[in-house]
Each structure stands twice: as C-alpha cells, then as structure tokens.
Amino acid sequence: MSNIKEIILVGSFHFELYPDVIQEKEDDVLELVDYLAKFQPIKILLEWEQSQNKQLNERFQSIEDDFQINEMEQIGFRLAKKLNHEEVFAINWEGHLTQEDMTCLFEAINNEYPVIQNILTTYRELVTNIDLNTKLMYSFQKLNEKRLVDELERLYLSFATVEINKDSIGMNVLKKWMERELTIFKNILQVESKTNDRMLLLIGGDHLWMLRKLFEGIGWKVINPFSESSYGSR
C-alpha cells in the first residue's frame, strides 16, 4: 500500500451568492456529488471555522434533506452522507483580512497600477459563474482549471508591489492572506492520521493556488477531480 497521502482539492463557488439558481439546480448538484463520490475520499473537509466543528457536526448528523443554500451542505453534507461518513471536518480560519483591506487594494490598482489591472481583467474574463443555462459540472470544471488557478496566483503575487503614499497595502493583504492559508494548511494536517488518507477539501476557488503548492511541497498527491485525466479514470 502506498504511503503517499492524497488530497482532492475542490474549488467551489459560494452558493449563497446564487440562491435562486441553486434552488433550480438540484439535479446538477446531485450529479456533482455523485461524480465526486467516485473518488472515495475517507474524510470530507469543509471551509467552516475550525472552532465551530462541534456545531457543524451536530448539524450534519441531524439533517435529513433540508440542506441550506451553501456549498458546505449542498455538496459537502450530501457527499459525506452518500459515502456513509459519520462526521465532517471544519478546517477554516477567517483570519484578519477585511473587506476594507481588499477595497483599498483594488482602488489603488485601478488608479495607479495599469499592468496589474490588466492581469485582473484577464482573470475576470476567464472566470465562469453559475447560471441557469450552464451545467454546474462545467462551471466547476472551469473554476478548477489549471489555467485559471495559475492566473489567480499571478494576480495575487502581483499585489506585493502595490503601495499608497509608501503604505504597502499590497504586502499587507498578502501577509494576511498567507497567514490564513498556512493556518488552514495546519488545520488540515491536524485532521489527517492514516498513512493512506485520501481527503477531499471543499473550499473557495481563491484558495486553490496556494494550498496546491503547500501540499505538493510536503509530498502529497494533489488531485484536481475536474482535470481531463480524472474524467478519463472515473
């Protein structure tokens, strides 16, 4: 048996931003859950505050089919129940990055940094959102596509040069973001316990680029379930 640990990284949309669409797409959600179940993860990790793990599992264990409109329940809970898991795992830490930090950053980019603005525009042109006319599987495939993840990495790293009146607001954002990513990484490492763990992490798409590097850096096999090779092997 291989001792290489595996993590299935599933970048997700935040469903609460699309409540009407998600309500109309239950069949698409079930199709996505059925597809992910074929990878047979033994643990499901969710972007939920780690300090609220007990409450998360109380909700998971009591719920039948009245899932709330968020990806944690619509996908994470459904998947864990389909695989007969007894619990799910909260691994998130919101950290100290605020909406004000991001607003200041993007205002500075818009006013003073045309090269970074072009990178941002390129990224936004690549992003596929959720809508009634697009299969959910396709939207997830595009969100997890390597080209998009690489472009997101390029965008985030470009923030390092952004300043306003010698105030390094870009570096401030990156420091807070990296602290969050490293804490999530640590939280996941505290969950794994077996030599052959295959865990599935459901998390916002913005996290993919950094988490991929962290897990590859410690020798884990990182699986994109929506890559062509994954489609062909399932």
Q: Which residue has the higher pLDDT, 224 or 129?
A: 224
Give the span between the Cα atoms of 16 and 73, in whole angstroms.
11
Kindly indicate the confidence band of residue 219, based on its pLDDT and cuts at 50, 70 and 90: very high
Is residue 232 over pLDDT 60?
no
Is residue 42 over pLDDT 70?
yes
Residues 6+ positions from 211 with CB-CB distance below 8 Å:
9, 181, 184, 185, 201, 203
Predicted confidence (pLDDT) per residue in 154-178, tens digit = 999 999 999 999 999 999 999 999 9
Q: How many residues does the chain have?
A: 234
Is residue 195 over pLDDT 70?
no
Give the span between the Cα atoms of 86 and 83, in whole angstroms.
9
Q: Which of 171, 178, 226 is nearest to 202 (CA)?
A: 226
Query: Which segments within the chain are labelled E, that is strand?
Result: 6-12, 43-49, 89-92, 198-204, 221-223
pLDDT at 95: 97
pLDDT > 70: percent of the chain:
95
Query: If you average pLDDT over residues 214-228, what whole number do you get?
Result: 95
Is residue 97 over pLDDT 90?
yes
Is residue 231 over pLDDT 70?
no
Tell me phi and psi for residue 135, to 5 degrees. -65, 140
Predicted confidence (pLDDT) per residue in 102-156, tens digit = 999 999 999 999 999 999 999 999 998 999 999 999 999 999 999 999 999 999 9
pTM for the model: 0.95
